[in-house]
Every structure is written in C-alpha cells, then in structure tokens.
Amino acid sequence: MINNIHEIAALTGIIVYGISFIISIYENKSRRSFTLSTIFAGISILFMVSILIYLWITYKRPPMRSIGETRLWYAFFMPSIGLLTFRLWKYRWFLSYSLLMGIVFLFINLIKPELFVKHLPPALQSPWFVPHVIVYILGYSLLGASAIISVYQIISRKTRDYKTILLSADSMVYSGFILITFGLLFGALWAKVAWGNYWSWDPKETWALITWLVYSIYIHYRLKQKKTLDHRVSMLFLIFAFLIVLLAWMGMKFIPAAQNSIHTYG
C-alpha cells in the first residue's frame, strides 16, 4: 500500500526513468542520435533533484540518514554521471544502463520501505559516502563490460579482428579506471576525516588497491602491443582482472585477512 512520500517518489521516479530508458533503447536500436534520450534523462535527473530538495526542506536536514535515503542519491548520481560518461565516451549502451541502474535503486526502495528506517551510523553520515560508492559502481560496471566483450570475443571468435574489439575494451578500461581512481582517492580523503588516516591497509582498501594496480598493469602492457597473440592474452587478462574486481567487491568473507575489516558495519 502506497501511503508515504518515499513510496510515491520511488514509483513516480521509476515511471519517469522507465520512459527515458525505453526511449534510449529505441534510439539506440534505430541508430538515431540520442537527443530525445538525453532530454528525457535530464528531466528524470531533475525530478530526482526536486525529490531530494523537497525531503531536505521537509526534514530540515540533508536526506542522508537512512540507507533508503542514500539509494535516492544513488538514483540521482548514477544517471547523472552515466549521462556525462555516455556523452564524453560515446558508449551507445551506457545511457540505458545508467537509467536502468537508477530504476533498480528506486525499485529496491519501493519493495523494501524499511530501508528508510535502517539508520546510518555516524561514520557514514558524510557527503563523501554517495560519490565514493557511485564512482565505484559505475567504474566497476565499465570494467565488467570490458570483460564481457572479451569473453564474447574469445568464445564466439566471430571475427578475426581482435584488434578492434580490444580498442573498445581499452576505452572502457580507461574510463572505468579513471572512475575507480576517483573512488580510491575519495575513499582516502573520507577516511582521513572520519577515522584519522587516509590509508590503513584495511583489507577492503588493500583489495581496492590491488584491483587498481591490476588494471594499471593492463593499461601499461597495452602500450607495447603488436601481435595477435598479444591481443588474446590481453583479453584473457581482462577477464582475470574482473575476477579480481569480484573478489575485492564481494569476496571479503573468503579471505582470512579480511575478517577484521573496518569496512564491515554488521
């Protein structure tokens, strides 16, 4: 039963984002320019901004107190930065993807209204929280995409033209790597303010650094590429690198060193 502002906002948001998403899919499939998608994405983003401003004024505090409220910010930032990335890096699929991610977060809020009641501990009540998480989600998405096209190329062997596919993968690695660099440094700057030191070799931090270093190896390895064999090695490396991402992101439970991470909040 819809009986409060959060649920109304989530539902309206899903509709607005949904329309933009469908338009973007249509414009992508019919190879049109993305003018209409961009306009609708812009409207959706403005809608989220107005929700956030409304909540800010109504509650007389920034809407950053519960997990549900942070999801609203995710639903704002994902498509915004996604739209920017899409315009700058020209990934045809990225606008639809970012809008879809916005819908996902709003949908989670709709089906789990108690997220608005799951309060954030003091350390997480910071303007760094959302930017840090968002750039990581988007960055890892792009790195994941580079792994996906590598898997696809290796399995299908559709064209012998590894070089072109690899150039697309490179582009996604560059943009993804830039975003995770932001993520790593935002995390460091936040850690200094919240905990006292910008780096403490905490397992989550260490594995984020390992991920960053692994993609750094890829980028520098690609500088000296010539032969087709190298291209296949590069693609396998991208798949391996994404496994490291998964380990860093979700595998903390399996690593003995990570049991005492300060990144766990219970």
Partner 1 sequence: MKRKIWIFPWKYPEGFLIGIAILICGLILDYFFLPAALLIPSFPGNLILLSIIVLIASLLFTSKGINSFLSSGYAAVPSIVLFTLLVLIIGIIPQNYDPDNNFNLLRNMTSSWTFYLSGLFMFFVVFTSSLNKFKNLNIRNLSFILTHIGISIVLLAGGLGQSEYKDLQMNLFMNKPVWYAAENSQNTEELDFALELNEFILEYHNPVLKVSYPGKDISRMYELDKAKKNIHFRNFEIVLDQLIPEAIRSEKNYREYKHPGYVTAAALNVKDNSSGKDTNIWITSGSRMQQPEIYVSDKIRIKLLPRSPKHFITKARLYTKSGVNKEVQIQVNKPLSVQGWKLYQQSYNQKMGKYSNTSVLRLVKNPWLPVMYVGFFMILSGVAVLFFIGKPY
Given the rule CB under 8 A, which residues bind partner 1?
1, 3, 65, 88-90, 113-114, 116-119, 121-123, 125-126, 167, 170-171, 174-175, 178-179, 181-182, 185, 188-189, 192-198, 201, 203, 206-207, 209-210, 213-214, 216-217, 220-224, 255-257, 260
Tell me how far, at minimum, the Cβ of 9 lies from partner 1, in Å.
Answer: 17
Tell me how far, at minimum, the Cβ of 127 lies from partner 1, in Å.
Answer: 9
Tell me how far, at minimum, the Cβ of 72 lies from partner 1, in Å.
Answer: 16
Which CB sits closer to partner 1, 47 or 153?
153
Cα distance from N-terminal residue to C-terminal residue, the chain: 30
240's CB contacts (< 8 A; 6+ apart) are: 214
Distance (Å, rounded) from C-alpha 35 to C-alpha 18?
17
119 phi and psi angles, rounded to 5 deg: -80, 150
CB-CB contact of 69 with 48 (8 Å)? no
Tell me how far, at minimum, the Cβ of 129 lies from partner 1, in Å.
Answer: 10
Alpha helices (H) along the chain? 5-29, 35-59, 67-89, 94-111, 129-156, 162-195, 203-221, 228-250
Distance (Å, rounded) from C-alpha 9 to C-alpha 5?
6
Tell me how far, at minimum, the Cβ of 79 lies from partner 1, in Å.
Answer: 17
Which CB sits closer to partner 1, 22 or 198?
198
